[in-house]
């Protein structure tokens, strides 16, 4: 118990040490490849996290600590959203949201709610419909992520209720029917994923995973994983990174018995949202590749992360891992924390920042490439 209290105090002190800074004047510090530009899309969004786009173009934005859901519209068509509307408040860490058939689905720790016909009722949101309340109530790693898969099922993450433990009913990725029925386990051995998506070319599921803490600055790596089928076990709490047995739970285990990561990420970079780049605005080398928002370390002696990374695939396998957008970390000073990503129909990319309470838009224009 004392150890948990100490870790909570350390995390709180870290959070208080990061000073909030107005985002827009700082964007000139973001480093991008030639031809790319980053601009402010929306602000006044405390704790902005997951973004999904409705059928009519509304951008819905979740939060974690704020307990609210926002709606954004680019009414002027100038690439910048008007002031956000609050469509729900008082929810319990509503991190995960998904959109389907006119309805917004919201995961609030132990329940999933549905807001029907929401884009027609932004100024007068309907009362939510309970989809399910058959989820654990623990708040530790209880901020869930939601997404609809190619099979029409709703996938939801159930993180471990601890840093490291072996407890049935947790460290899972589940799926269920849109009406809440038929909940089943899709994958196991996942400490905490709060970001997953499907490869549009082969429909395999890819997800980020936050590794355990308190094994030092450089162990274990966080992970990008691929689930080519259901029923796989990804190692937690026994094996980390595909080759490192846990000092507490690894005795008698063999890492070869578990599915290794598709790509090892930096240690404690806290990967959250990821997306396949499905647009055509960016140059060819980015199309069909994976972009990952790294939220940034909180208990490492030298901070790491706070950036958007590019993972390049070849023949369905990860072959490189490199920065795409960075600069939210200036030495040891943090002014922003990328959280989630969304590709817009025009091919530009939205990046939410839950520290600055903002969303940025990254676009590409060949005219911006320096002439040689």
Cα(194)–Cα(11) distance, integer angstroms: 19
In degrees, rounded to 5, the angle at the alpha carbon of residue 366 between the alpha carbons of residues 364 and 367 is 115
Instruction: Tell me what the mean pLDDT of segment 131-145 comes to.
Output: 97
Cα(106)–Cα(95) distance, integer angstroms: 8
Share of the chain above pLDDT 90, in %: 90
**Confidence (pLDDT) at 75:** 86
Instruction: Tell me what the mean pLDDT of segment 125-146 comes to.
Output: 97
Q: Which of 185, 153, 146, 145 is nearest to 169 (CA)?
A: 185
How many distinct structural domains can be found in the chain? 1
Instruction: State yes or no: pLDDT of 117 exceeds 60.
Output: yes
Instruction: State yes or no: pLDDT of 315 exceeds 60.
Output: yes
Instruction: Tell me the three state secondary structure of residue 13.
Output: helix
Of the listed ranges 14-18, 133-137, 269-273, 330-334, the least confidently predicted one is 14-18
Q: Which of 311, 320, 356 is nearest to 338 (CA)?
A: 356
Q: Indicate the helix (H) or strand (E) that contains 14.
A: helix 2-17
Domain of 254 in residue numbering reads as 2-368
Q: Residues 221-270: pLDDT tens digits?
A: 999 999 999 999 999 999 999 999 999 999 999 999 999 999 999 999 99
Q: Give how far Cα 324 sits from Cα of 51, 189, 352, 362, Å.
A: 20, 29, 15, 11
Residue whose entry in the numeric block shows the structure tokens 């997404």: 147
CATH of the domain at 137: 2.120.10.30
- Sequence-ordered list of residues with C-beta below 8 angstroms from that of 350, at least 6 positions apart, any chain: 41, 51, 59, 341, 342, 343, 344, 359, 360, 361, 362
Beta bridge partners of 325: 308
- Sequence-ordered list of residues with C-beta below 8 angstroms from that of 265, at least 6 positions apart, any chain: 208, 221, 222, 223, 224, 271, 292, 294, 309, 321
Q: Residues 13-37: pLDDT tens digits?
A: 444 344 445 678 799 999 999 999 9
Letter string b/e over residues 123-136, b meaning 16 or more CB atoms within 10 A of that residue's CB: eebeebeebbeebb
C-alpha 251 chain-centroid distance: 32
**Confidence (pLDDT) at 158:** 98
Instruction: Tell me what the mean pLDDT of segment 120-131 comes to.
Output: 97
Share of the chain above pLDDT 70, in %: 94
Give yes or no for a cis peptide into 237 (omega within 30° of 0): yes
CA atoms within 13 A on the CB side of 348: 19
Q: Which of 212, 251, 225, 246 is nearest to 311 (CA)?
A: 225
Beta bridge partners of 173: 157, 187
Q: Residues 175-215: pLDDT tens digits?
A: 999 999 999 999 999 999 999 999 999 999 999 999 999 99
**Confidence (pLDDT) at 23:** 78
- Sequence-ordered list of residues with C-beta below 8 angstroms from that of 249, at least 6 positions apart, any chain: 164, 166, 237, 238
Beta carbons of 92 and 129 less than 8 angstroms apart: no
Cα(144)–Cα(154) distance, integer angstroms: 12
């Amino acid at each position: 118990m004392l150890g948990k209290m100490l870790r909570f105090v350390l995390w709180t002190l870290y959070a208080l040490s990061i000073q909030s800074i107005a985002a827009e004047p700082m964007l000139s510090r973001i480093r991008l490849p030639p031809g790319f530009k980053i601009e402010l899309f929306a602000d006044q969004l405390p704790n902005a996290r997951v973004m999904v786009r409705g059928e009519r173009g509304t951008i819905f934005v979740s939060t974690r600590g704020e307990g609210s859901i926002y709606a954004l519209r680019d009414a002027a068509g100038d690439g910048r959203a008007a002031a956000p509307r609050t469509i729900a408040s008082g929810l319990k860490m509503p991190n995960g949201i998904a959109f389907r058939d006119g309805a917004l689905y919201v995961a609030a720790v132990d329940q999933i709610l549905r807001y029907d016909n929401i884009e027609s009722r932004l100024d007068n949101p309907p009362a939510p419909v309970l989809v399910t309340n058959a989820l654990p109530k623990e708040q530790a790693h209880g901020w869930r992520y939601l997404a609809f898969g190619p099979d029409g099922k709703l996938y939801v993450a159930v993180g471990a209720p601890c840093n490291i433990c072996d407890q049935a009913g947790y460290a899972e990725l589940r799926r269920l029917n849109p009406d809440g029925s038929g909940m089943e386990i899709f994958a196991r051995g996942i400490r905490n994923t709060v970001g997953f998506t499907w490869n549009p070319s082969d429909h395999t599921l890819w997800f980020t995973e936050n590794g355990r803490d308190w094994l030092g600055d450089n162990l274990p790596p966080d992970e990008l994983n691929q689930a080519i089928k259901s029923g796989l076990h990804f190692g937690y709490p026994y094996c980390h990174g595909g080759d490192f047995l846990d000092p507490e739970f690894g005795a008698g285990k063999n890492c070869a018995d578990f599915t290794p990561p598709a790509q090892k990420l930096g240690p404690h970079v806290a990967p959250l949202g990821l997306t396949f780049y499905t647009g055509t605005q960016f140059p060819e080398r980015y199309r069909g590749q994976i972009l990952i928002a790294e939220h940034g370390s909180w208990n490492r002696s030298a901070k790491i992360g706070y950036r958007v990374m590019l993972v390049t695939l070849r023949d369905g396998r990860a072959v490189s891992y490199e920065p795409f957008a960075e600069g939210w970390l200036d030495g040891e000073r943090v002014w922003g924390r990328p959280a989630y990503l969304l590709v817009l129909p025009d091919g530009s990319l939205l990046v939410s920042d839950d520290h600055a309470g903002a969303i940025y838009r990254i676009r590409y224009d060949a005219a911006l490439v320096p002439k040689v």
